Each structure stands twice: as structure tokens, then as C-alpha cells.
Amino acid sequence: MDETSRYPGFPEYAGYSDVGGGSGMDAASRGSSSQHAAVEGGGAATYDGKHRQSQPHRQPRTGVLARLHTVFEPSMNRLSMKIYGSKKAVVKERLRQRSLGVWVIHPCSKFRFYWDLCMLLLLVANLIILPVGISFFNDDFDTRWITFNCLSDTIFLVDIIVNFRTGILQTDNSEQVILEPNLIARNYLRSWFFLDLISSLPLDYLFLMFNQDVGEGIQILHAGRALRILRLAKLLSLVRLLRLSRLVRYVNQWEEVYMLRIRSNNVSSGQRGHHESQSMIKFLNMASVFMRIFNLICMMLLIGHWSGCLQFLVPSLQGFPVNSWVSINELQDANWAEQYSWSLFKAMSHMLCIGYGRFPPQSLTDMWLTMLSMISGATCYALFLGHATNLIQSLDSSRRQYREKVKQVEEYMSYRRLPLDMRKRITEYFEHRYQGKFFDEKWILDEMSDKLREEVRNYTCRRLVTNLPLLQNADTNLLTELTDCLEFEMFQPGNFLRFFFCCSCNFFYVLF
């Protein structure tokens, strides 16, 4: 069968044959190949297994338009290969997206990848710059500040539109991506839409525009009301900090992509030397652990940054009372860098529970802010300690399981009151058999496919095949059957395998 006829209207995919592995998408697409229809621009082609009704084929996309459309289609990246399992399945997903006839962004596309990267950088900048600008700068109508806010709000509003046109990975079936616009909109409205919308709207500027008074002498007659409006506008601008939810989502997505890169590097490192691959795998596993700890540390620093800005913002909104910590330290007229440094020092002192800063709280407001910082610091410390402990334990789980098993053996020997000589031999047996690491090898091999299990057994028994003259020229099938029957057993000096002149159906390979 001609390769071009496999994908009518898409000759650029004719090079992908049906041979090769795939995921569940391949099986689903093969099962539905007897009833397949593709519609675009009034032309269609229908296949039913008995007859073929030909209609005008769609025109293949060429040139700039084709390259533009491929940006929004799933690309051959690690995420798409993880979801679909093969290049052919990714190609079929592209065809499924094109057959819908609507503009939808695939979550595995290049556009979504780079868009998420840009949004991640913009979110980090917003979550750092916004608290500083709100707390330490009084000129809310500065051109640069208004430009930054309006540009950020516009990009985040565009992100909402992009989310309405981005496919959704199903949690129960990751191989099937929702590409219907109605289903995408319904799912987004039920999840993150309202939080994203509130954090993207310029509520502070809308509030100022709504309460703008027209007339002469407004600065004199309504000075108190105008000051309250400005303070409320500052509080409304804090709503933008709800963008933290987006940051968490994007960080989780990028962490998943990073873990995929680590797994692929582990596979490629297995092709090198044994010692080099082992050291590379250990390094990459350590990198993944430190990456998660680094994310947690960055989150703690961000909370400390927010707490420091809040320490100065609240006295600023109150007009710097004489008993506030800002007035006591005479920081009202200092530059913003000095104000921020003292505020951050005060907040970190509370969060790390090492003191109250330069002076203890003198007012009720400072006392409540101090308690809030202490609670947030204690929570972050508990989360960091728990995550770090779990990550360190999971870094070398086999060695930890070995130590637990040895501990159980020691308790068993003590419970049975075994003699010291027997205890020594039992301890040496476990040390030589497991060599500091414990694996449930039978369970691991049973979970593998037959072909993969066969390859693992052949690799682990390669020393027997190469060193035993009887098997050096043996047939491959014979060696495979023989390795399937082998069982590992550990013998200590002085143990008898079999006595002479005794019948035995066992065959022993002795490795020294």
C-alpha cells in the first residue's frame, strides 16, 4: 500500500509506517480505522472496509501557513513521547487535531512550551516586583509603574484567552487530550478561570477611575477621602499576588519536564561504561532531589519577601504611628533599599524564630504582624523538614530497606537466643548476599514483559555464558531457556552443595 494513501491530504507524514510500538492511542486508532472520516472545506474521504467513497481531498498545507500550524500541534518532545509512546501515535494525534477544523493549541506543542516558559518568568518578576512597588513606592501614577502593571495585566488576560484554546490532558486517561473548544471552556471555567481573572484585572486602576472627582478644589475639600481611596487602591493591587497559583502550576509542569529529561539521560547513560553510567545515574538522581529542595527553598524565600514587604506596608497605610517599628527606627524618610533591608531582616527574624528584629513589637499591629510571620515561618520550616526528610530517604531506598531487614534479623536472633557463632554466620550471609542493598528481584522481574525479562536475565548471567566452556558455542535459544531456570543461592565456606553418590536433578554453576 502506498504510504501517501495512509494519510490522505497530509503527504508530509507518509514516511511513518505502521510498524513499531505505540501506546493506547495506536490501538484505538487502528480499531477505528474501518470507520474514519476527515472533513475540511467541504471535502471528505470515508473508509468502511468494504467500499471507498472518494470525495475531493483536502489541500495540504504548504509554506508559511503549514509551519505556523505545526507550532500549535504536538511536537516530538519528551512530554508527547511519554504520553503517546511512539512517533506514529504523535502523528495520528496531529491528524486528529487537524480533522477538528478549529484552531486549538495542543498542550504538547512548541507554542505552549515557550508560552509557559515566558509566563513563568513573568510570574516570578511580578511576584517579586509587585510587593516592593506597592509597599515602598508612593508614586502610584509613575509612568514606568503604570506601564509595567498594564503590560503585565494585558499579558495575563491574553493567557486566559490562550487557556480557553489549549487542550486539556485527562487525568484518568492521559493519552486522550480534550481538543473540543466547548469542553475546554467548561473545564477551565470550573477550575482556575475565576482566580486567574481576578488576579489579572487592574482592580486598583478601575477603582480610581470610578471614584475620580471632577471639580476645583478637590485636593482641599476631599483630601481625607482621596487618601482613603489611594490606600484602598493599594490593597486592591495586592490581588495581583493571587498569581501565585499560576506560578505553582507552571513550576509543576516544568518540574515534570525536568524529570522526563533526567529519565531520558539515565537511559542514554546506560550505553556508556558501567562505572561511568552508575556515577551519572547517581548524580542525576541527586540533581532531581536538590531541584525539589531548591523549589521549596525558593518558595520559603518568596514568602519571606512578602512578609518583609507587609511589615512595612501596614505601618505605611496607618501613616507611620509613633509607636510603630518604622518610626522607632526612623526609617520614614530613608531610601527604599534601606527600608526593604530592615523589613526583610525583621520578617526573617520572626520566621526563623531567632528574635523580634532590632526592637520588639510596641503596638498591637506590630504584634499581630509578628505572630503572622512566626506562624508562616514555622509552617515553612515544618514543610521543609518533612520534604527534605522524605527526599533524602527516597534517594537510596534500597540501602534503607537493607538496614531495616538487618535490624529485623538482629532482633530475631536476639529473640531466639542464637549462639554467637551462628549469629556471626547469619550476619555474614546477609552481607554477602545483599551487599548493602535489598531488592525484591522476583517482584521486579514479574512486573516486566517477557521479552524485557529475558534480556535482563541474559545480561545478568552473561558471566556464566562467557566463562563456561560448555556454553560458549551454545545456541541462543538454549541459553535463554537455561537462564530462565537459574536460581541464585548463597553458600558459605563449609556448606555442602551435594554429597557424592547421591542422586540429584540440580545443576550447579559455582562462582568464586
> How many other C-beta atoms are found inside a 10 Å radius of the C-beta of residue 104?
22
Name the region of 256 (left: φ>0; alpha: ψ -120 to 50; beta: rest).
alpha
Q: Where are the domains of the chain?
A: 3-101, 102-269, 279-395, 440-512
CA atoms of 91 and 93, how far apart (whole Å): 5
What lies within 8 Å, CB to CB, of 162 at 6+ separation is: 105, 115
Name the region of 353 (left: φ>0; alpha: ψ -120 to 50; beta: rest).
left
Cα–Cα nearest to 308, from 355, 353, 357: 357
Q: Contact, 358 vs 329, CB < 8 A?
A: yes
Distances (CA, A) of 132 to 188, 324, 331, 343, 370: 31, 19, 16, 11, 19
Query: Which residue, chain included where needed, has cell 512595612?
Result: 312
Burial bucket for residue 222 (CB in 10 Å: 0-12, 13-18, 19+): middle
pTM over 0.75: no
CA 264, 250, 260: angle at the middle one, nearest 5? 5
| H or E stretch covering 45 | strand 43-47
CA atoms of 114 and 110, how far apart (whole Å): 6
Query: Which residue, chain included where needed, has cell 534601606?
Result: 338
- 126-151 core/surface letters (b: 16 or more CB in 10 A; e: else): bbeebbbbbbbeeebeeeeeeebbee
SS3 169: strand
Amino acid identity of residue 378, one-letter, is A
From first to last of its 512 residues, the chain has per-residue pLDDT tens of 444 444 444 444 544 444 344 444 444 444 443 333 333 333 433 334 444 444 444 455 556 666 777 888 888 877 777 777 778 888 888 888 888 888 899 888 889 888 888 888 888 888 898 888 888 887 666 788 888 888 988 998 999 999 999 988 776 665 678 889 999 999 989 888 888 888 888 877 777 777 665 444 444 334 444 545 555 555 666 666 676 777 777 666 666 655 555 555 554 544 444 445 555 555 555 666 677 778 788 888 989 999 999 999 888 888 888 888 898 888 888 899 999 999 999 999 988 888 777 778 888 888 898 999 999 888 888 888 887 787 777 777 788 888 888 899 999 999 999 999 899 989 888 888 888 888 777 888 888 888 888 888 888 777 776 677 777 777 777 777 777 777 767 777 766 665 544 555 565 655 55
